[in-house]
Structure 1
Amino acid sequence: MTIQEIDQVSITILMDNSTDLLLTNSNHANRPPLTKNEKFILPLPVAEHGFSALVNIVIDSENE
C-alpha cells in the first residue's frame, strides 16, 4: 500500500455539548434558577463530550 500525495487538506472541527451555566435571562430566554438559599435546586446538566470533524482532501486539484 502506497501513500498518495495530496495537494491540499482542510480540517474543520466542530465543538458541541457546550453549556454556559452563568448566562442570565434575556428577552429570548428565561433560564430557571440553579440555586436557592445557596443550595442547588436543579441537577446540573450532564452530557457526553462529542467530536466532529469535516476533512476535505484535494488530489490533483479535485475534491475527494
Structure 2
Amino acid sequence: MAQNGYHARKAAVVLLKLAKATSDRDVAARLIEAAADLKDQTGELPPPQSVKPPDVQTEG
C-alpha cells in the first residue's frame, strides 16, 4: 500500500507541474482536480525534501 501511495503522490506532483505549465485554463483546472483526487486518496502530500528554513540573524 505504501508503494501505491508513493506513486500516487509523485503523479499528483507531475499533474500540478503540468497545470502550472499549461496556458489553457480548462486543462489546468482538470489537472488540478485530478491531483486533488489523488491527494484525497493517499492523504497529505509530504513537504519537499530540500526545503530548509532561512537563517535568521537578529541585531543586538
What TM-score, normalized to structure 2? 0.24
Higher relative CO (Cα under 8 Å, sequence separation at least 6) belongs to 1
